[in-house]
Structure 1
Amino acid sequence: MPRTRSVATALDRRSFLAAAGALSASTGIGLAIGLDGGGHEAQAARPAQPLTRANSRPAPAPPLAPYKRGTTLDAVAAPGTGRGYRRLGSGAAWPRVTRGEMAGARKGREARRRTLAAFVQFTDLHIVDTQHPNRYEFLRTETASAWRPQEALSVQGAVSLVERVNALRGAPATGAPLGFVMTTGDNTDNNARCELDWFLKALSGGTIVPNSGDPRHYEGVQDSGLPLFWHPEGELRDADRKAGFPRIEGFLDAAIGAVRSPGLNVPWYSTVGNHDSLPGGCFANDGWFHEFSVGDRKLMELDRGQAARFWQAIRAGDDPKGAYFKDLIRTHRSRLRRITPDRGRAPFTRAEYLTAHLDPVHTGPGPVGHGYTQANLAASTQYYTFEIADDVLGISLDTTNSAGHYEGSLGTAQWNWLERTLEQADKDGRYAIVFSHHTSTSMRNTRPDPARPREARHGGQELVGLLKRHPRVLAWVNGHSHRNKVRPRGTFWEITTASHIDYPQLARVIEIADNQDGTLSLFTTLIESVAPHRTSFEDLTQTGLASLYRELSFNSPGRKPELLGEGYDRNTELLLPKR
């Protein structure tokens, strides 16, 4: 019979992990791949600081009662009236919606229920090196996602989200302690070593300088003189300024200035996404991308017709090796802008990704490796299991395909491992929560993986079928689409959460409760970063920039309101029959 973990047990385990964990992260991935905190080559690696209680960041004591403050159940950022660029303020809360498609809601369950687990999902943080050569910002004429006005503030925004989790009093629906944070991929934007360093420091703690290339000043598109991009400083009347975007002197220096992250005060786990594995999130990695990424040239503009053809090839998945991109660079040499080269911009390999997570300087509150182990490193795999609670198993999948393209799939070796894992969980009487980056509808990339060319690839609908054959799977939690979406899948719920790069910039608290009446409830509660909804354009502090990050994302041309999802995709109680 499954064992229900008591609140006291969870508190003891959480306190132990917090006390055992936090390290100084003043170095970073540099210890693993030879970089200092700014992405430049390190002069000398400093030893890891020993694990001591003095370095821990104890979590606030949970109230063991439901609450709303600090969540979207209390207030949500909302725009003022008017046209053009709109300032944000505090708007009406989003209520919780009870969904009974798979089990009915029974009266009195609030008094009976026992909490099995509670955790937070981050997804699609997209920590961005905005000066990286291997970005296709020149496609902004075709897609708003090619470049966003808020991108230079991704680190400040991520740290503010960390601060929100640290400030939560527990899980909003049940008041139970938060056990961990899981980030479901696209932690970085361009598979760059410097971005990986910034991401790890944001979550585990440390000082981040979100700048690459010239340490003295910014060298990206926002200082290019090209009217396609918002220039926050100077007199240029670019397209965004004409639409009402503000002039903010000092913005670029502030954006690349030092950011201090306290690190999460709960354990955290990591799941890999396509942007963490592939240059541009869609190209198979090779030596050409490495050399171009660390070089001194960058393409910032392109004729609209060529941009349209390139974007069409990316969307269709017709250019998984980036041949079109490489050809554009060769044929437009005279239009390339000179920038300061930086070896910290090199793509990281799978081994480097794992090694960086396993580095003691990034342990923070734990666990060592954040889910990944030395066995993953030896086998070159990025999938694993971990204990959510005594009777709940966590399963993290690697749905990227190194053959290229932004959609995903699973290789046969991982598929067989997942089948065995689910069968064992059934025998042990354990529930399971599955985590991945891709959604069921974005796993259609079945090209052979060059690392395992003889393996078949398995898509999203096939994975839905596998999970349905194991009815103790409660949920599949993912991201990728940058959209809030919650759907019943026959025996489990698929929970997809919006990104933290595009508006509405949310994370999600998920709670699992046994209602003691033959049903289980999964509660989902969306949270914003701790940054205030409204800021002054003169406030260029770390917090002020995090607030501006949200407001710029709301005003970003091409913003998609549908990313919010419907009311039933946001704050929910999702019922399931107890099996």
Structure 2
Amino acid sequence: MAGMPTHLSPNRRRFLLTSGAAVAGTGAALALPGRRSSSGAPGTAHAQSLSRTSPARPGGRRAAPFAATTLDTAARLVGSGGYRRLAPGPGWPLVVRGELASAAAGRQDRRTALACFLQFTDLHVADVQSPLRTEYLRAGSPGSWRAQEALSVAGAVSLVEQANAVGGGPHTGRPPAFVMSTGDNIDNHSMKELEWFLTLMSGGRITPNTGDPTSFEGVQNSGLALYWHPDDTLRDQDKRRGLPAIPGYLEAAMRPVVSPGLRVPWYSTPGNHDDLPGGCLAPQDPMLAEYVTGARKLFTVPDTDVAAFAKVLKTGGDPKSTVLKEILRHNAARARTVTADERRRMFTPHEYLRAHLNPAFAGAGPVGHGYTEDHLDDDRMYYSFTVAEGVIGISIDTTYRSGHYEGSLGTGQLQWLERTLAAHSSRHYDADGRLVRNTGADDAQILVFSHHHSPSMTRRPDAARAEEKRHDGQEVIALLSRFPNVVAWINGHSHVNRITPHAHPTAARSFWEVNTASHVDYPQHARIIELVDNHDGTLSLFTTLIESAAPHRTDFDDLSSVGLASLYRELSYNAPGLAAGLTDGVHEAMAGAAKDRNTELLVHRA
């Protein structure tokens, strides 16, 4: 985007793909002894602050019971300097968008609710001590490593707690029926991260530590000024730009966290980081598989290697990870000794499905979270499900299994998508624009979910499925446009909030693409999504952004899970080059403009 630093552009992930993510947690987790909490017992004051039910608001909006949304308040930066603090700021307005259908007067009084649910995306639950992470890319791009990464599990727990606090959608009052997580649920494609994610969503105790159970073995106590060292006085490059020293930070980050689990059913859609180590590396490569569970880790490499690896990440032209493997070989003498850990091993697509189907991770259901035993036959990761009466959800798998961060669909899945759409449509249009009637089908409103958004989907061949032609985002848009009852395509991947109308020359054949930012980078959002019938020939899709349950204000002396969750958010707002570009809490490049945040999206009803 114009005026945005290269390392913070939507495609900053080209440099972040193997560097990781973080999220921090709240009241259900364990507080550290000897540390005071600015809110008393962990989670207590915040839980009390969420226990109110606000009155109805003008214009037909109802307050969500219990949980505040960004309609009420949003985090904003205050002060000046290299490190800026967070405080509660004013809420963001509701923007009515009528590009696809006009907003008729009086619809607030006659509408009925059809569905309400939440979208999580790009949690990037991360093992930050994994030997295969490539934090050293930061030498070429400061945004290639995140200061908040080590707080990953606890921050995701904070988001789960906020989801549980949403008693009803702010515009309908309807309780959320489920949560859909649209991919990049984990970061390094390891079995331990997958276990953490499934426990996070379904409930249980998580210890976010691998390797040595008693000490941290990552870059943040390496003695290298390239990385923020919160526990000591090293004048690293982040402290020079204002990040604080926080003694006890790393010990706190490794302590157990207890997730309450979601109180509603949840569904899972795969992302490139779920399918591939680092989101782009060759899966099950013997050398990489041995390295990730082994006892050696590179913390720094020569600048020439940083540039060479960054180049292939940008082009995506190295699906076999040849460049990275060569870097690991010729820098072997530079690697430091760490504790080997078999729990970091990569997993196959079959194992990914099996883990979701494990009854131990059923949580509030459904068992498999969208996947069934039938999916094991061909390791298929796409499915349809009932969102609500008369509303169908379709989750598609857009990943390249051979090693690439971009997305696509194979011909077989594209054909399955067309058949599934047709099965829930009484009429649609063929590829030549001719009307096709299917009298045996009842019309349902259709919502499509994926990890990749349309601009990140290409036709690049997938070596893991070489016999299949690949299809890009424009082809998916063309297919969805043939079905008048498709309301929206909901996705992630970009780490940016953006909502795009896809208008067809025939006005009744149009839909919205809702692209939601991540819960690892600024602005750390998820969405409440509500679908209503306006009973005037239109539907409205409301998209309301929410933050985690953590208080906006931080306290460097509070290393309880509540304090870490708040710190996780504040650190993400202070990413290199980002804080300086923020004015009063909004950076449109990632948070999106007002029209990409809290919206009412109108579309013709089929």
TM category (shorter chain) comes to 0.7 to 0.9
1:77-130 CA distance string (max 9 Å, x none): 111121110110111210000000011111111110011101000000000100
Match of 2:455 among 420, 441, 459: 441
Per-residue deviation, residues 451-471 of structure 1 (Å, max 9, x unmatched): x32110111111100000112
Residue by residue over 1:309-357, the C-alpha shift from the partner in whole angstroms, topping out at 9 and shown as x without a partner, is 2101101101111111000000001110110000111111111111111
Structure 1 match to 2:485 = 472
Q: Which of residues 518, 529, 542 in structure 1 aligns to 2:561?
A: 542
- Answer yes or no: is the 8 Å Cα contact 2:122–2:518 preserved in 1: yes
Amino acid at match of 1:447: P
Offset of residue 146 of structure 1 = 2.8
Contact 2:541/2:601 (<8 A) preserved = yes
Structure 1 outlier segments of 4+, above 3 Å = 60-65, 558-561
Q: Check the 8 A contact 1:87/1:551 in 2, yes or no.
A: yes
Structure 2: stretches of 5+ with no match in the other structure: 1-50, 57-61, 426-440, 504-509, 582-586
Q: CA deviation at 1:177?
A: 1.2
Secondary structure of 1:553's match?
A: helix
Give the structure 1 partner of residue 446 of structure 2.
432
Give the structure 2 partner of residue 230 of structure 1.
228
State the partner residue of 1:532: 551
CA gap 1:197/1:212 in 2 versus in 1, 3 angstroms: same
Whether 2:79 is the aligned partner of 1:81: answer yes
* Letter of the 1:372 counterpart: Y
Q: How does 1:392-541 map to 2 (within 5 A)?
A: 392-426=391-425, 427-450=441-464, 452-490=465-503, 491-541=510-560
CA offsets 1:159-207 (integer angstroms, 9 cap, x no match): 0000001111211111111010000000000101111111111111000
1:204 matched to which residue of 2?
202
Equivalent position of 1:122 in the other structure: 120
Matches within 5 A, 1:182-193: 182-193=180-191
The answer on whether the counterparts of 1:63 and 1:175 sit within 8 Å (CA) in structure 2 is no
Which structure 1 residue ranges, 5 or more long, are not aligned? 1-59
- Identify the residue that residue 18 of structure 1 maps to in structure 2: none
Q: CA deviation at 1:428?
A: 2.1
| 2:143/2:576 contact within 8 Å kept | no
SS of 1:365's equivalent in the other structure is coil
Give the distance between the partners of 1:383 and 1:62, measured in 2 at CA: 38
Counterpart of 1:437 in structure 2: which amino acid? Answer: H
Equivalenced residues, count = 520
Preserved contact between residue 408 and residue 438 of structure 1 (Cα < 8 Å): yes
Residue aligning to 1:270: 268
Alignment check: 8 A CA contact 2:53 2:63 kept:
no
Question: Which among 135, 138, 142 is matched to residue 137 of structure 1?
Answer: 135
Structure 1 residue aligned with 2:342: 343
Displacement of 1:141 in angstroms is 2.1
Of all paired residues, the percent bearing the same amino acid is 54
What are the superposed Cα offsets for residues 382-407 of structure 1, whole Å, 9 maximum, x if unpaired?
00011001211100010001121100
Whole-angstrom distance in 2 between the partners of 1:289 and 1:303: 20
Cα distance in 2 for partners of 1:548, 1:135 equals: 23
Give the whole-Å Cα distance in 1 for the aligned partners of 2:317 and 2:496. 25
Q: C-alpha distance in 2, partners of 1:293/1:458?
A: 32
> 2-side partners of 1:372 and 1:472: how far apart?
25
* Separation (CA, whole Å) in 2 of partners of 1:380 and 1:405: 19
Structure 1 residues 253 and 83: alpha-carbon distance in aligned structure 2, compared to 1, 3 A threshold: same
Using the alignment, how far apart are the partners of 2:178 and 2:140 within structure 1?
A: 39
Change (3 A) 1:61 1:449: farther
Partner of 1:566: 593
Alpha-carbon shift at residue 448 of structure 1 (Å): 3.0
Counterpart secondary structure, 1:132: coil
Q: Distance in 2 between matches of 1:162 and 1:256?
A: 19
Aligned to 1:428, the other structure's residue is in SS state: coil
Alpha-carbon displacement from aligned partner over 1:196-241 (angstroms, at most 9, x marks no partner): 1111111110000000000011100001000000000112100001
> Which residue does 1:576 correspond to in 2?
603
Give 2:156's aligned residue: 158
What letter matches 1:467 in structure 2? L
Aligned to 1:488, the other structure's residue is in SS state strand
Mapping of residues 89-100 of structure 1, within 5 Å: 89-100=87-98
Tell me, what secondary structure is at the counterpart of 2:539? strand
RMSD: 1.6
Report whether the alignment pairs 1:242 with 2:240: yes
2-side partners of 1:463 and 1:95: how far apart? 31
Change (3 A) 1:193 1:468: same
**Matched residue SS, 1:407:** strand
Write the distance in 2 (CA, Å) between the matches of 1:185 and 1:536: 32
Q: Could you give the per-residue CA deviations for residues 260-279 of structure 1, whole angstroms, max 9, x where no partner exists?
A: 10001111000000000011
Shift of 1:144: 4.0
Residue aligning to 2:63: 67
Report the Cα offset of residue 578 of structure 1.
Answer: 1.1
Give the counterpart letter for 1:518 in structure 2: G
> How far apart in 2 are the matches of 1:63 and 1:467?
38
Q: Take 2:171 and 2:142, find their aligned partners in 1: how far apart are those partners? A: 36
Q: Work out the CA distance in 2 between the residues paired with 1:305 and 1:67.
A: 55
User: 1:207 and 1:64 mapped to 2: Cα distance?
Assistant: 37
State which drifts further: 326-335 or 144-153: 144-153
Q: For residues 193 and 316 of structure 2, what CA distance do their matches in structure 1 show? A: 25
Q: Which moved more, 1:144-153 or 1:554-563?
A: 554-563
